[in-house]
Structure 1
Amino acid sequence: MATTPDFRALIPTGSTARITRRALLSGFVVLGAAGALSACSPNKTFAASAKLDGVMENKLNIYSWGDYDDPGNITTFMKNGTTVQFDSYGSNEELIAKLGATRGTSGYDIIVPTGSYIPMMSQNGLLEELQLDQLKNFENIEPLYRNQSWDPGNKYSVCKNWGTTGYAYDARVITTPMESWADFLEAATGVASKKTALLEDSWEVCSIYFGAHGIDLNTTNKADLDACEEYMVKTLATHIKAFNSTAVTSGIPEETFVLMQAFNGDVRLGMQESDSPESWKFVYPTPTANIWMDTWAIAKGAQNLDAAYAFIDYMLEPEVSFREVDYMGYNTGVVGMADLAAANDFELPELVFPPDEVVARLTASEINSGTERIVKILNRMMAQAAS
């Protein structure tokens, strides 16, 4: 009698579906990633990947974030005779350090980096160039989520999940209309003082100031960075109760804050757990906020290429993709997700599927010469808030 291949997921024992992958990010600490890549000079050789021959391998090794895929989808995929093993990491820096140290011999086939890290990883030889003709379902990805600035032409990656940043507030306490980052700052330093939570991500936090003042969220201008530091450390930090990327999932149901910077899908989780969700509002703030994207990519040195392409292609099938949306609470960028949500009584769809006009004004984060400075700004803010 045929047996189902093993599905092994090596994830931290404390991981749960309520602690989302985005919430687990403890900060945009790209300095660690840069250090991990310092030994990956172009003149050093990486192991070669296997060749495609159209024969599905009987194993597939995936290195991803813990609890980041619907287990039912994995079980169904394995019915083709391929055993899937997941190992997990807690940050992009950890992923990069592993791949950089093993130089193509990590044993992993598929990896799931955040899009803004793709340039750094590709330039250092950590990624296999994709053969898009092996992904018949690539066309299922909406055009808006292809061809991103950090990976033109989807040379190295395709969308897995995406989301954005905004803020949730208790409308029983903050009674004035809220629409912008400027409104957020006014409330945080006023009625929501000492009842406000920020993310632990330096780019996201500094983007509040930049957005409120009409400054490019990826600015490298010294005057902009100086002004940001002056205000965020000396003014805003003194009003902040916590820097906690998981705050919103418990903060809404437990009502421990009245204003929280948060990822859209995590706000949905918090509202689903609340006894009074109607008391909470979520804002996609003007003028802009982050559009983040986690991606499917293939590691340099991958030995199970046919299985890797088959798996990614499978995940891009609409019905499979919707099960991912339902499990994770974030959009996959595959066509028809909003329609499937409407047909399946999906709760609070507006928190997963922003209007087109919102998506059109979002900004992707960049790793640039200003990154080190904004990390230092966040560290100073945390120290000031704790003093």
Structure 2
Amino acid sequence: MTNRRKILQGITALSSLSLTGCGWKLGDVRANAKSSSQRDQISLYTWAQYTDKQLLKTFSAQTGMKVLADTYDSNDVMLAKFQAGGGGTYSIMYPSDYMVQKMVEKDLLAEINRDRLIGLDNLLPRFQNPSYDPNNRYSIPFNWGTTGLLYNSEIIKNAPEDWDYLWQNQTQLHKRMTLLNDVREVMGATLRMLGYSYNSKDENQIKQAYEKLKVLKPAIAAFDTDAWQNQILAGDLVLAMCYSADAIRVSKENPHLKYVIPRSGSSLWTDTIIIPKTAPNLDGAYAWINFILQPEVAAQVSQRLSVATPNRSGFEQLPKQIQNNTNLFPPESIVEKCERITPLGKFEDIYEQYWTKLTSG
């Protein structure tokens, strides 16, 4: 999970966006932001693909604030730097859902002042009270997606419907499939296939998942989160476990590549925006969040990054073709079967022990 967006492409130019006529103007924020001691600058710590220069320039032109952005390629890297004292310069950060929980537990996040937000009611209902952060007390959802299987329909004629397809077709898929290099995703999918929760804290269930994966391992080409994309485009692979955003982007290059969300359920992830307690420019932070909450911006982010926007008004501005893309916006019947991966405290050591046994040697 932590590296899922590492190779996504950046958002293209957004400077032509019209940001008025939505009940507010970013220019109105400028006056408020000038009350800050560091009103002329805001620093972000974010995923590399979220730092499109034109997006930053648009915000700067509307608010008068210069935007500085540093990037990371995993939640763990972000947290480690922050805890080591390197996060004090940032007013905005982009942790994933489960990392929000960890950061709240470590008392690193400022509570969101909802009175300073404009457009929060634009969010879809399921994102207004998410399980990882009830009532969005510490975070604002930025985008979301699922985990599933991407396969080459020219070679695989019978579409995979569930995770058990991998075991049932192990001979056909031998050394031509990859699983994510992520313990919670791979163990979670196997647990789900067995009828258990992605977030099981029953060691006997974890062992059952391990035993199933041990049977499958000889057929797996690699546990990989990134390199599979070029390999499946080259024809070296016929199937890959992957994140929806990556799958949709890759399938644009080869329409024979099809994405499927397993019917027994999968993982559901959300990237968020938070304000650290050490934020040097609170006014700038709220200006940035209000900028991102605008429907036009939300729609453009969804189109360019191939991720599902949690912004209802932004969704309504998307072309019908994108709105009806069930890989991007799966039906409620599928979403209901999906689970968010949640922190499990010290029990995560059990997952790691079995994962090390599986992947070593």
| TM-score, structure 2 normalization | 0.85
The aligned counterpart of 2:202 is 221
CA RMSD of aligned residues (A): 2.3
Residue 67 of structure 2 corresponds to residue 73 of structure 1? no
Query: Which of 100, 106, 109 matches 2:91?
Result: 109
- Provide the C-alpha distance between the structure 2 equivalents of 1:324 and 1:381, rounded to a whole number of angstroms: 37
Residue 66 of structure 2 corresponds to residue 83 of structure 1? yes
Query: Offset of 1:364 from its aligned partner?
Result: 0.3
The aligned counterpart of 1:201 is 182
Q: Tell me the matched-pair count.
A: 332
The aligned counterpart of 1:151 is 133
- Provide the C-alpha distance between the structure 1 equivalents of 2:71 and 2:159, rounded to a whole number of angstroms: 41
The aligned counterpart of 1:327 is 304
Q: Which amino acid aligns with 1:133?
A: D
- What pairs with 1:220-299 in structure 2 (closer than 5 Å)? 220-233=201-214, 235-274=215-254, 277=255, 279-299=256-276
- Provide the C-alpha distance between the structure 2 equivalents of 1:144 and 1:93, rounded to a whole number of angstroms: 26
- What pairs with 1:292-311 in structure 2 (closer than 5 Å)? 292-311=269-288
The aligned counterpart of 1:127 is 109
The aligned counterpart of 2:155 is 173
- Provide the C-alpha distance between the structure 2 equivalents of 1:309 and 1:161, rounded to a whole number of angstroms: 18
- Provide the C-alpha distance between the structure 2 equivalents of 1:177 and 1:198, rounded to a whole number of angstroms: 17
CA displacement, residues 88-117 of structure 1 (integer Å, 9 cap, x when unaligned): 1222122212222228x7211101111101
The aligned counterpart of 1:356 is 332
CA displacement, residues 170-212 of structure 1 (integer Å, 9 cap, x when unaligned): 223322342111223322x231121111111111111221121
Query: Offset of 1:338 from its aligned partner?
Result: 4.2
- Provide the C-alpha distance between the structure 2 equivalents of 1:23 and 1:323, rounded to a whole number of angstroms: 17
Query: Offset of 1:346 from its aligned partner?
Result: 5.0
Q: Is the 8 A contact 2:34 2:40 kept in 1?
A: no
Counterpart of 1:67 in 2: which secondary structure?
helix
Query: Offset of 1:224 from its aligned partner?
Result: 0.4
Residue 212 of structure 2 corresponds to residue 212 of structure 1? no
Q: Is the 8 A contact 2:191 2:206 kept in 1?
A: no
- Provide the C-alpha distance between the structure 2 equivalents of 1:321 and 1:285, rounded to a whole number of angstroms: 27
Comparing 295-304 and 173-182, the one that deviates more: 173-182
CA displacement, residues 198-245 of structure 1 (integer Å, 9 cap, x when unaligned): 111111111221121111110010110111222212x11111001111
Please list every run of 5 or more consecutive structure 2 residues that lacks an aligned counterpart in the other structure.
Answer: 8-31
| TM-score, structure 1 normalization | 0.80
In structure 2, relative to structure 1, the CA distance for the partners of 1:338 and 1:153 (3 Å cut) is closer
Counterpart of 1:365 in 2: which secondary structure?
coil
Q: Is the 8 A contact 2:323 2:329 kept in 1?
A: no
- Provide the C-alpha distance between the structure 2 equivalents of 1:184 and 1:237, rounded to a whole number of angstroms: 11
